[in-house]
Structure 1
Amino acid sequence: MTVLLNGESIQLPEQIVSVSDLLAHYEIHDKVVVVEVNGEILNRLEHQSTRLSDKDRIEIVHFVGGG
């Protein structure tokens, strides 16, 4: 399936079916992130149950510390 991830068209592998799978694929599943799918902000509990579909618009924001 093809999705728009942070403004870029991405072809996802077949095994990615949920937001949780997507975060694991990009190795950011253990970081504090905010995920929005088609304009809806998801809470962390929804990552596993939210299924992705072709042409979904996904925004992922993670926080970086610094000083």
Structure 2
Amino acid sequence: MIEIRVNGETTSCPEGLNLVQMLEHLGYRPQLVVVEFNGEILPRARWAEQLVREADGLEVVTIVGGGS
């Protein structure tokens, strides 16, 4: 297990997951979020290759549809 920060909160999670797997583990639907990874907006095309490691920081923003 490793510890990472997600939206300012420390959480434990399995080691060896890529960003897509980590988002799913945390209960997010990857197609409906935008991620800032260690202070950088990470392009969706890189999520599958980006491993999440001890002490990484994620800010996850959920995309909400709406309007009239």
Same fold (TM over 0.5): yes
Provide the secondary structure at the position in 1 that maps to 2:22: helix
Instruction: Kindly tell me the number of residue pairs found equivalent between the two proteins.
Output: 65
Letter in structure 2 aligned against 1:37: F
CA RMSD, Structure 1 to Structure 2 (Å):
1.5
Provide the secondary structure at the position in 2 that maps to 1:48: helix
Name the TM-score, length of structure 1 as normaliser: 0.82
Show the counterpart of 1:65: 65
Letter in structure 2 aligned against 1:12: C
Show the counterpart of 1:44: 44
Letter in structure 2 aligned against 1:3: I
Provide the secondary structure at the position in 2 that maps to 1:46: helix
- Structure showing the higher helix proportion among its residues: 2
Q: For residues 59 and 21 of structure 2, what CA distance do their matches in structure 1 show?
A: 15
Letter in structure 2 aligned against 1:30: Q
Q: Give the % identical residues.
A: 37
Show the counterpart of 2:12: 11
Q: For residues 63 and 27 of structure 1, what CA distance do their matches in structure 2 show?
A: 11
Q: For residues 53 and 13 of structure 2, what CA distance do their matches in structure 1 show?
A: 10
Would you say the 8 A contact 2:22–2:52 is kept in 1? Answer: no
Q: For residues 12 and 24 of structure 2, what CA distance do their matches in structure 1 show?
A: 16
Deviation at 1:28? 1.3
Which structure 1 segments of 5+ residues have no match? none
Deviation at 1:41? 0.8
